[in-house]
Structure 1
Amino acid sequence: MTTSKLLAQIPDSYFGKTMGQKVNHGPLPLVNMAVGIPDGKTPQIIVDKFIEAIQEPSNQKYVAFHGKASFKKAIVDFYKRHYDVELDQDEEVCILYGTKNGLVALPTCVVNPGENVLLPNPGYTDYLAGVLLARANPYSLELKPEFNYLPQWNDVDNHILNNTTLIYLTYPNNPTGSVATRSFFDETVERFKDTKTNIVHDFAYSAFGFDTKNPSILQSEHAKETAIEIYSLSKGYNMSGYRVGFAVGNKDMIASLKKYQTHTHAGMFGALQDAGTTALNECDDFLLQQNEIFKKRRTNFEAALNKVNIPFEPMKGGIFLWMETPPTFDGESFVEYLLQEKSILVAPGIPFGDNGKNYVRISLALDDHDLNEGAKRLQELAHLY
């Protein structure tokens, strides 16, 4: 097999390697708490629109490379309605075939070889691939529990920061379940707005904020001078298989992403855009229901762990709980122990950065029966702590 030197230096994707693989586990029925795909159905109104749109002759041909005006208007209206953010649908919106594509492509679009990119540690695993494909230099942006997993800009080495072109942020954070505040985004935008450093905020779990609604970075004054935000329909609307998302914000970064896309694909299937338009325009109530479902799951699951004093990070948003391993385990060895002893599958913390070495990530995207069963089996391991 022939592989380029560039591709060879990029680590295999953890979830690309493990998702869908056969799992060898102990004698109990498997409880899979590793996958971050919401377990509910897509709202019927979206499914019905998709079925109708597939049969529309205009959707059976190429559509405009940069998206239908109706879908872009729905994005603009959504951001105005939910965040009071004004967007120009032609210059400040880029439609994405899955947000991962945009997150991985972005460094190639806006970072030069040899420049620095700061990646949250812990944070989503596949940001690194985008940086390496752009021949840029990845640096760890340290996120610590004592600061609620928010970066402390004054603690970042100035030599690294001065040559940093792009910073990745993601709140609610995958994997820790921590959230950002409006004041943090205000401070961050103020810090970088007149520098060469741009920001991309991965807002994939935007719908899930349990104590308060998650802020958009674009709500901060001057944010569009330095930041874009990438929004996914996968999690909030149970549309992970549709692969629909978008980037909004800084017009120069948006223009670069759009130019890149004209060379990599010929526009999103029109029926998907129509389904996405229906989601954004007509399903606000469903987002509220999703949040309530996961808030209840979070509350019950945390209560079960607290009852037996198993340590974890408080889950303020998203769909994952970040749990410490027992003292004699690291994340990878504890994953194997859980599989063999309790037939529970979770994700090790280390793929999310070396700050995750002694953690595992637990998904709450399971029905109540499996969640309760998983919690009960974990309670039986309290003696390990």
Structure 2
Amino acid sequence: MVISDRLAQIPDSYFGKTMGQKVEHGPLPLINMAVGIPDGETPKGIIDCFAEALREPSNQKYGAFHGKETFKQAIVDFYKRQFEVSLDPEDEVCILYGTKNGLVGLPTCIVNPGENVLLPDPGYTDYKAGVLLADARPQSLVLEPPYYLPQWDKVNRDILQNTKLVYLTYPNNPTGSVATHAVFDEAIAQFKGTKTKIVHDFAYSAFGFDEKNPSILQSEDAKDLAIEVFSLSKGYNMSGFRVGFAVGNKDIIQAMKKYQSHTHAGMFGALQDAAAYALNHYDSFLDKQNETFKRRRDMFEAKLKAANIPFEPMKGGIFLWLHTPPTYDGEAFVQYLLQKQSILVAPGIPFGEHGKNFVRISLAVDDASLETAVQRIQDLKHLYA
């Protein structure tokens, strides 16, 4: 096999390895709750805009490397409208061909070999790959139940002093925990005046069940050291479009734009037109998405409580963090659910060492399948006794 030493040191992506693979399951119809692909359709207006934009001659040629003015302005207007955050469209906005590209590429843009990068544990699986590709050192930012929030005083001081970048993600994937303005204020205060930067992965921004999720950029002085990465995939049911953006600290944004100018030649213009249309016209759709997943959360948690099956309270996002039975770790319980109940979920261990005794359940399935799935899980209450 021909592979560089740097790439060889990185474990295979869990979802890259498993998505699309044939699954051997038990006798019941399979219910796939392993991935966070929204089950609803992209709104018709966005599809119509995309179809029309495909026929636009200017979109059939190379475009500006760093994006259309119309798309960047839509991002600026959206952040002002939703969060009362002002942005400069040229200096503080970077368009991303999928937020994963930005989150994985970021360490290469701003982190030097040997410097520490703090990664949430539990947290999204592929942050670590970006750190290793940059020859940097991944360090765990342990998030403890029930709130799964940073506790800076528990991080080793030597590690903190050599930390160049911190990843945060709220609503948290996989735990469903959320952050308040105070949490972000504390993070900014912790690192203001140091060399440490912060990236907040805001992929599940639309889903806050008790109150609206705050942006880290709402905190005072946040743009001195932080960026936020926003995805259109979940809130707008646009996961196949692969469109997102980063906003915030201008130095980080410019580094990301320089990196992108060498790795790809800009985003397809029709995608930008569709994304701009979504941002400009579908605020109410985000509210409906939130209502849908709040209703699903309420039903699912109530059924688990009735069966005395333990889980972590889901305050936002689209995933529920379920404890495994006492005699199972996450990987063993995934196989048990698959063979006995024909339910596919994700094991907790890819999300960090502190996910060993959990599985992640996606609520991004239709309501009928969700009802069936929770009934099948209720039938396993004897395993938790």
Q: TM-score range by the shorter chain?
A: over 0.9
Partner of 2:109: 109
Partner of 1:192: 191
Report how far residue 88 of structure 1 moved.
0.3
Give the whole-Å Cα distance in 1 for the aligned partners of 2:268 and 2:343. Answer: 38
Partner of 1:295: 294
Partner of 1:46: 46
Any idea what SS the aligned residue of 1:145 has?
coil
Alignment of structure 1 residues 116-127 onto 2, 5 Å: 116-127=116-127
Any idea what SS the aligned residue of 2:246 has?
strand
Partner of 2:19: 19
Amino acid at match of 1:237: Y
Report how far residue 191 of structure 1 moved.
1.2
Amino acid at match of 1:36: G
Partner of 1:159: 158
Partner of 2:323: 324
Give the whole-Å Cα distance in 1 for the aligned partners of 2:205 and 2:382. Answer: 36
Deviations 1:124-162 (A, max 9, x none): 00000000000000000000004x000100110000000
Partner of 2:136: 136
Any idea what SS the aligned residue of 2:325 has?
coil
Partner of 1:76: 76
RMSD of aligned C-alpha atoms? 0.4
Report how far residue 68 of structure 1 moved.
0.3
Give the whole-Å Cα distance in 1 for the aligned partners of 2:54 and 2:348. Answer: 41
Alignment of structure 1 residues 25-36 onto 2, 5 Å: 25-36=25-36
Report how far residue 269 of structure 1 moved.
0.3
Deviations 1:255-278 (A, max 9, x none): 000000000000000000000000
Report how far residue 190 of structure 1 moved.
1.1
Report how far residue 303 of structure 1 moved.
0.5
Deviations 1:91-148 (A, max 9, x none): 00000000000000000000000000000000000000000000000000000004x0
Partner of 1:96: 96
Report how far residue 193 of structure 1 moved.
1.4
Give the whole-Å Cα distance in 2 for the aligned partners of 1:183 and 1:35. Answer: 31
Give the whole-Å Cα distance in 2 for the aligned partners of 1:10 and 1:191. Answer: 30
User: Structure 1 length as normaliser, TM-score?
Assistant: 0.99
Give the whole-Å Cα distance in 2 for the aligned partners of 1:11 and 1:17. Answer: 10
User: Structure 2 length as normaliser, TM-score?
Assistant: 0.99
Question: 5+ unaligned residues in a row in structure 2: which ranges?
Answer: none
Give the whole-Å Cα distance in 1 for the aligned partners of 2:190 and 2:317. Answer: 26
Deviations 1:274-311 (A, max 9, x none): 00000000000100000000000000000010001000
Any idea what SS the aligned residue of 1:268 has?
coil
Partner of 1:59: 59
Give the whole-Å Cα distance in 2 for the aligned partners of 1:57 and 1:158. Answer: 56
Counting aligned pairs with the same residue, the percent is 73
Give the whole-Å Cα distance in 1 for the aligned partners of 2:208 and 2:292. Answer: 11
Any idea what SS the aligned residue of 1:117 has?
strand
Partner of 2:216: 217
Any idea what SS the aligned residue of 2:21 has?
coil
Give the whole-Å Cα distance in 1 for the aligned partners of 2:162 and 2:35. Answer: 36
Partner of 1:283: 282
Give the whole-Å Cα distance in 1 for the aligned partners of 2:32 and 2:276. Answer: 32
Give the whole-Å Cα distance in 1 for the aligned partners of 2:6 and 2:33. Answer: 33
Partner of 1:173: 172
Runs of 4+, deviation exceeding 6 Å:
none
Give the whole-Å Cα distance in 2 for the aligned partners of 1:242 and 1:30. Answer: 26
Partner of 1:242: 241
Report how far residue 192 of structure 1 moved.
0.7
Amino acid at match of 1:220: S
Any idea what SS the aligned residue of 1:140 has?
strand
Amino acid at match of 1:365: A
Give the whole-Å Cα distance in 1 for the aligned partners of 2:209 and 2:8. Answer: 41
Give the whole-Å Cα distance in 2 for the aligned partners of 1:365 and 1:303. Answer: 17
Question: 5+ unaligned residues in a row in structure 1: which ranges?
Answer: none
Amino acid at match of 1:207: A
Any idea what SS the aligned residue of 2:208 has?
coil
Give the whole-Å Cα distance in 1 for the aligned partners of 2:278 and 2:193. Answer: 36
Report how far residue 205 of structure 1 moved.
0.2
Give the whole-Å Cα distance in 2 for the aligned partners of 1:384 and 1:368. Answer: 26
